[in-house]
Amino acid sequence: MPFEIMVQSLIYGIFVGSLYGLIAVGLSLVFGVMNYLNVAHGTLLMIGSYVSYWLFSVYGIDPFITIPLVMASLFLLGSLLYIGFFSSLAKFHSEVRIKNSLLVSFGLMLVLDNVAILLWSADERTITTSYSGMVFDFLDLRFPYVRLLGLCLASMTILALHLLLTKTYFGKAIRAASQDWEAASLMGIKVSRTYLVSFAISSALAGMSGALFCLSYAVTPVIGEAWSIKALIVVILAGLGRIGGVFFAGLLLGLVESVSVFFVGASYQEVVGLVIFVLVLMFRPQGLFTR
């Protein structure tokens, strides 16, 4: 039944899309707050995947249990990367920040990717748990438990981030600093700290994406680049620096990619996102979800 296949692939589109949204939110946060374009963002996902993988394969810890651990370690790594490589860019104005952060993070991506190859080899790694293949059947549609739980966790995390940014004083300070950092500092906000924490949160979100990623896909040291590009497409779809619509833009990309399989075939699936990317930049550069 082609209809059922269609619905089934839409469901998978949502699963994949939630991962796109989760990885893109971090990229958007860093861009929105400090005007850094961190192309090493996908690399942080890769590192998160390996942290989860090693915790599972060496210590046998369940990959869902390790998510907080992965997030904590990526939060720490993100803080260190920010202090070491990105904090010095904060003195420039926004245009220079974009260019310089692009160069710095591209270099960082190359170095980290190669360090990962040296440390962990280029072999594909997968996590297989006792419940990996289990699916929830509903009207002949398949919902893998791993994916369902991943979708829930991703949505909850995005909701938590939203509440952090809109309801807490520190979150409001992050938003204030993103809109006018000079005025924010004149109101007593330590802008350098909001930058550091935003970058660390972004890394933690990339780490979480990594932990969810390795439950369903094989991990290699070079997946980072592809995920950086995916995240960038989603961020452009939602509108640069707009954190609000990013998760939905991620879901949208996931859905469009899954539907496009019917029309252009699986081999061109990756191209679809890039075509949308170019079209949005040409005709609606402010993003789909902005007024």
Partner 1 sequence: MLEIDAIEVFYGDFQVLWGISLSIQQGEIVALIGSNGAGKSTLLKAVTGLLKPASGTIRFKGISLDKEPPHRIVALGVCMVPEGGRLFPEMSVIENLEIGAFIPQVRKFKDETLKWIYEIFPILKKRTKQIAGTLSGGERQMLALGRSLMSQPTLLLLDEVSLGIAPMMVKSIYETVKQINQSKQLTICIVEQNVQMALKTAQRGYVIETGRIVKHDKANLLLGSKQVKEAYLGLGSMQGDA
Binding site for partner 1 (CB under 8 A): 169, 172-173, 175-176, 179-180, 182-191
Q: How far is the CB of 205 from partner 1 (least distance, A)?
A: 22
Q: Smallest distance from the beta carbon of 172 to partner 1, in angstroms?
A: 6
Minimum distance between the CB of residue 291 and partner 1, rounded to whole angstroms?
11
What's the closest the beta carbon of residue 170 comes to partner 1, in angstroms? 9
Residue number with CB closer to partner 1 (147 or 242): 242
Minimum Å distance from CB 243 to partner 1?
11
Among residues 63 and 241, whose Cβ is nearest to partner 1? Answer: 241
**Nearest approach, Cβ of residue 287 and partner 1 (Å):** 14
- CB nearer to partner 1: give 40 or 191: 191
DSSP the chain: -HHHHHHHHHHHHHHHHHHHHHHHHHHHHHHHHH----TTHHHHHHHHHHHHHHHHHHH---TTTTHHHHHHHHHHHHHHHIIIIIGGGGGS-HHHHHHHHHHHHHHHHHHHHHHHHHHH-S--B----TTTT-EEEETTEEEEHHHHHHHHHHHHHHHHHHHHHHHSHHHHHHHHHHH-HHHHHHTT--HHHHHHHHHHHHHHHHHHHHHHHHHHS-B-TTHHHHHHHHHHHHHHHH-TT--TTHHHHHHHHHHHHHHHHHHH-GGGHHHHHHHHHHHHHHH-TT-TT--
Nearer to partner 1, 119 or 186 (CB): 186
Q: Which is nearer to partner 1, 57 or 179 (CB)?
A: 179
Nearer to partner 1, 189 or 208 (CB): 189
